[in-house]
Amino acid sequence: MEPNQKSGTQVREVLRQEFDLDGKTIAFETGLLAQQADGALTVQMGETITLVTAVIASKPTPGKDFLPLTVDVEEKMYAAGKIPGGFIKRETRPSEKATLTARLIDRPLRPSFPKGFYNEIQVLATILSVDFANQPDILALNGASMALLLADAPFSGPVAGVRIGRVAGKFILNPTFDDLDASDLEMIVAGNRDAILMVEAGASEVVEADVVKALDLAHDAIVKLCDFQERFKAAYADIKPPSNKVIEVAQPDPAYAEIEERVRALATGKIKESLRNADKLERDRQQDLIAEEVLAELAEMVEDKESYVSKALKQIKKEEMRRMILDEGIRADGRGTTDIRPILIRAGALPRPHGSGLFTRGQTQVLSIVTLGTVREEQMIDGLGVEDSKRFMHHYNFPPFCTGEIGFMRGPKRRDIGHGALAERSIFPVIPKEDEFPYTIRIVSEVLESNGSSSMASVCGSTIALMDAGVKIKAPVAGIAMGLIKEGDEVAVITDILGLEDALGDMDFKVAGTAAGITALQMDMKVAGVGGEVLAKALEQARQARLYIIDRILEVLPAPRAELSKYAPRIMTVKIPQDKIGDLIGPKGKNIRAIIEEVGSNLVTIDIEEDGTVFIAATDGAAGDRARELVELITREAKIGEQFMGTVTKTTGFGAFVEILPGKEGLVHISRLTKQRVPTVESVVNVGDKVLVEVVEINDQGKIGLQALNLEYKEPKAGQ
């Protein structure tokens, strides 16, 4: 029996609109896919398509006193027509790129929700198609804002984002991968109509004035994208039936105001005093004691509302810290707004690693370690981008002890990945090219103490470690974190922020670069945004700080060390014709194995690139030199007139085969063995004999004819 079915074809109301931005078409489409999500749409540019959904919990999460926003990015390998690598053959943990994209989306969205909104929100971007020209991260960022608008979230958006490149001095909006190959700047900017909320950039020593121009161009485009999102939302409202979903927002507890008033009376003076203690740990201990005293005094009043006391104390601390800076120009550790904490630098802090650098700035300390490896040790990338490997890596570790805390050690967190990528982007422009320095380079930055800006301390530590390792970097790179305190029209830009100023301030603006210009930027806003003049001031203060730190580094190491560590491999390169690669490898790798066995399998490794570049890595100089000599011999072309001392490998009735180069033989015809005629080849020469020969001919097939030079035939005496 056929199952009962309603007849007819399902019809869904689909809305699609397109927007032209600097000659590139961005298309939003909703109504077809994922309609059980609160907000869902696809964003398309070229053949790159990202599905973005938003779901919001109807009620606040009990016990939460922060915005429980989660952003995830799902890279689907089918989007690029790929099957995942490895044994599992399905997508598992997010790639580093997916993690960085999720952070990219989260950062401008978070300050766009009202304080006190504690409902769970999940934004999920699923990459469905990539064309290797248009990048999906910008589409996901704009789609996230649009999905939240479609979901009727309590969201002060729209928020929009663009990528900026610069090729031959001309800025390009949303450049393709090919554009970026020729670009000296890659900047992602997100914001709303009024201000910029987030910046992420890598650059090749770009000057501050050009960065400001790029920010202005980006914000103009952001305003247009925000307008497009508003038009799309209005059109959607015309076709979408009203939602029955009700989102309950947490309401302030009337009891909090009374508790806050009592806490202020008891603690304000003591918190003011504690904020002038320059030592982070002692300041934290004082504030913990203040909290204990307040809780004891208000025990009957607060009962199960102890979190209200913590909330009130944090608010008081925030207000007093900010007033101290705005009114007095004095910070918690006694510095002025542009002062940098005392710096301590050690190069070569560890004996066995190939290079190391210890950088301490106040109570932030990072130990960076460089390891030099062979080309086979480069990182392979199984993702949706055009990059399939990289030879320079920076990894950042933030163990709990660096802030005097206890915590789980379960691999890198999103923050660790993000900070590691920022430092990597900061250093990359000064790393020598592979043809100049044929090594894979890995830096690990271990944060040993943290009181603000450990990522920028990692940049400084990495520079010291690279110079200590003897890597001929283009120029030293230093980093500094800038902050902002803004109350109404009062604004203070502060240099080298503390953890306290990061947590309770309005901006975290990290700037890294050389003396010539900027190599990386990262900015996050906790307020509605700031204007270009404030960012320009922050960039100039950062430039002055960067120059000061570079001078301190050069006092310790005026230049990279002249020699690599004795523990680092020595890597030599030999360029051979591509048609000689097979000769070098030999049948089933015979020739390569023979070279390694001759010089010592524990002393040398050999890697061959498709373009004919041969990398020889040796832990012993003599072994490396011998391996290079053998490679050159095997791939060398014999020329007419050249002489070789060869070895007879085979004799026949018509002549002897002589190996003149490794794996390369020529024939000495019987008529060319000696000046006189000989009865047999064996009457003159046998297998294993050494023979001086000269190349006399090379035919079209590459076969070599030889003339023996040191052989004589002696006729046997009678009776012999």
Contact, 115 vs 72, CB < 8 A? Answer: no
**pLDDT at res. 148:** 97
> Residue 651 pLDDT > 80, yes or no?
yes
Q: Closest Cα partner for 199 from 417, 510, 457?
A: 510
Section 257-274 average pLDDT = 93
> Residue 328 pLDDT > 90, yes or no?
yes
**pLDDT at res. 530:** 67
The H or E element spanning position 323 is helix 306-323
What is the DSSP annotation of 524-571? EESSS-B-HHHHHHHHHHHHHHHHHHHHHHHHH-SS--SS--TTSPEE
Section 446-450 average pLDDT = 96
Question: Hey, how many other C-beta atoms are within 10 angstroms of the C-beta on 585?
Answer: 16
pLDDT in tens, 238-256: 888 777 788 888 888 888 8
**pLDDT at res. 398:** 95
**pLDDT at res. 1:** 44
**pLDDT at res. 182:** 94
Q: Do β-strands 704-708 and 664-669 pair in parallel, antiparallel, or remain unpaired?
A: parallel
> Residue 490 pLDDT > 70, yes or no?
yes
pLDDT confidence bin for 533, thresholds 50/70/90: confident
> Residue 38 pLDDT > 50, yes or no?
yes
**pLDDT at res. 707:** 94
> Residue 126 pLDDT > 80, yes or no?
yes
> Residue 121 pLDDT > 60, yes or no?
yes
pLDDT confidence bin for 367, thresholds 50/70/90: very high
pLDDT in tens, 585-640: 888 888 888 888 888 877 888 888 888 888 988 887 788 888 888 888 888 888 89
Q: For the sheet with 170-173, list strands across it.
A: 170-173, 160-167, 185-191, 196-206, 518-525, 507-513, 478-487, 490-495
> E-assigned strands of 144-184?
160-167, 170-173
Q: Do β-strands 664-669 and 655-661 pair in parallel, antiparallel, or remain unpaired?
A: antiparallel
> Residue 488 pLDDT > 90, yes or no?
no
Q: Which amino acid makes up residue 605?
A: T
Please indicate whether residue 234 or residue 525 has the higher confidence score (pLDDT): 234
Contact, 692 vs 668, CB < 8 A? Answer: no
Please indicate whether residue 449 or residue 534 has the higher confidence score (pLDDT): 449
**pLDDT at res. 138:** 97
> Residue 2 pLDDT > 60, yes or no?
no
> Residue 5 pLDDT > 70, yes or no?
no
Section 488-497 average pLDDT = 91
Q: Is the peptide bond before 241 cis (omega within 30 degrees of 0)?
A: no
> Residue 202 pLDDT > 70, yes or no?
yes
Section 495-506 average pLDDT = 93
Please indicate whether residue 52 or residue 524 has the higher confidence score (pLDDT): 52
Section 179-203 average pLDDT = 94
pLDDT in tens, 405-426: 999 888 899 999 999 999 999 9
Length of the chain: 720
Q: 89 CB contacts (<8 Å, ≥6 apart)? A: 83
Domains detected in the chain:
15-239 (3.30.230.70), 254-328 (1.10.10.400), 343-556 (3.30.230.70), 570-635 (3.30.1370.10), 643-708 (2.40.50.140)
pLDDT in tens, 54-105: 999 999 988 777 899 999 999 999 999 988 887 888 888 899 999 999 999 9
Mean pLDDT score across all residues of the chain: 91
Section 493-500 average pLDDT = 94
pLDDT confidence bin for 383, thresholds 50/70/90: confident
Q: Tokens in use for 615?
A: 């990398």
> Residue 462 pLDDT > 60, yes or no?
yes
Q: What percent of the chain has pLDDT over 90?
A: 66
Distance CA 299, CA 301 (A): 6
